[in-house]
A and B are shown apart, each in its own frame.
Chain A
């Protein structure tokens, strides 16, 4: 799975209709430098937890400051592992 492509797809979905998401190129870019605000982060985290089957209580403990931290958290707590972008996005459509 291309994590960058997945993150950009999820971020696009999370942002409100008037804010275009510019694809990030580096999973280590801080959210503050990628025009991803605090509400975006909440939505992005919930979407990722749904995609990877992380229960809600555990999801509340995720406090990432950059995309890479999300994937590290998911590696530890995931209960499923979608193999394609289509499969992953299918969980949150």
Chain B
């Protein structure tokens, strides 16, 4: 029998503070926690772990460890197979360069194993490397584990090393982020005809998903019900490109609707991937407007930067917080009035939430939540 699945805990860390890093090969602004780089040159502190520490709720970990129930899994949504901060190529020395002295902990699975045990989540420990789709893609794994493999609790930690030389080089080189020259006239935004693009941002998110049996037994108040999730690829030869017809998003959306047994007209709120790049604007707009006719959509990336693999879950938790406060936030820096891809805050319509994410390597993910639980 398929169990209902509930999101029961959500802890998040993000930074609205942005600094311009001038000494990079591609100088750019980043949203970050500057203190996480303060002692990085010693090699004794490791940035992803310092960011993860901001969301690793020790009381929650202790509670889960001391109250075992059924089978508990741990998933590290890591974006990459190893944390990217290790400089993968011979780049010039920057303020972000460091050599971490604890090699084992640079491997995502070793780090995952260490954190999983703290939560008593040792029936399955896995990592996901679906790039920027990672933390939404793992919701498909959550659904699979609880619905088909009788797991009762799944802990998801989303963290990666976003503000790293390799990441910033990549986005600078591919001109995906706003250059300082562009930033004189352009502000980060999404689905806008004038403003566009994003800065890279640090962030982390921790969440727990429970079966309905585990929920009843724990007496925890749910945040939302995960109705269904799906991930898909698309037909394109460019592994860093997106089809303008939004095929990947479309497949993910339709898969999620099918698995959630939800009709398109029941989805009223969409948290878009919303990077604001030209290709994502076209692709995501095409897929969402094809599948839905009556909805509002927002994006958090113009506000907190693109937190890569973390972004899907982190932004979903931010949306749930905003909905609790009674509004869906407008997309920052929109220059035209828009009641769908919101230019202003709006009240919360009654209906399900869809959260979307896309990742390099042509991966698209969608998840549907019911927040009225």
Q: Could you tell me which B residues sit within 8 Å of A by CB distance?
A: 39, 42, 44, 56, 58, 61-62, 65, 101-102, 104, 110, 114-115, 117-119
Contacts and interface: CB of A to CB of B under 8 A. Distances in A.
Nearest to A47: B44
Given A17-B56, A50-B42, A39 B101 contact: no
19 contacts: A16-B114, A16-B115, A16-B117, A18-B61, A18-B62, A18-B65, A18-B118, A18-B119, A19-B117, A39-B110, A39-B114, A46-B44, A46-B101, A46-B102, A47-B44, A50-B42, A50-B44, A91-B42, A92-B44
A70 interface: no
A21 B61 CA distance: 17
A16 B117 CA distance: 9
A9 interface: no
A42 B104 CA distance: 9
A67 B118 CA distance: 25
- The 9 A-B residue pairs whose C-beta atoms are closest, nearest first, are A18-B118, A16-B114, A46-B101, A17-B118, A92-B44, A50-B44, A46-B102, A17-B58, A16-B118
Contact of A93 (B39, B56, B110, B114): B39
Contacts of A76: none
Contact of B101 (A16, A17, A18, A50): A50
Contact of A56 (B39, B42, B101): B101
A19 B61 CA distance: 12
Contacts, number: 33
A56 B102 CA distance: 11
A91 B61 CA distance: 29
A62 to B, nearest CB: 13
Nearest to A17: B118
A43 interface: yes
Contacts of A16: 114-115, 117-118
Given A16-B114, A18-B65, 18 more contacts: A16-B115, A17-B58, A17-B118, A18-B61, A18-B62, A18-B117, A39-B110, A39-B114, A42-B102, A42-B104, A43-B102, A46-B101, A46-B102, A47-B44, A50-B101, A56-B101, A91-B44, A92-B44
A33 to B, nearest CB: 21
User: Which of B62, B101, B115, B119 has the largest number of chain A CB atoms within 10 A?
Assistant: B101
Interface in A16-62: 16-19, 39, 42-43, 46-47, 50, 56
A37 to B, nearest CB: 11
A5 to B, nearest CB: 20
A42 B106 CA distance: 13
Contacts of B62: 18
A47 B42 CA distance: 11
Nearest to A93: B39
Interface in A73-93: 91-93
Contacts of B115: 16
A80 to B, nearest CB: 14
Given A50-B101, A93-B39, A17 B44 contact: no
A50 B99 CA distance: 13
Quick one: which of A17, A42, A93 has the most chain B CB within 10 A? A17
A91 B119 CA distance: 30
Nearest to B119: A18
A19 B104 CA distance: 18
Nearest to A92: B44
Contacts of B117: 16, 18-19
A72 B44 CA distance: 23
Contacts of A39: 104, 110, 114
A22 to B, nearest CB: 17
Contacts of A42: 102, 104
Contacts of B61: 17-18
A16 B104 CA distance: 14
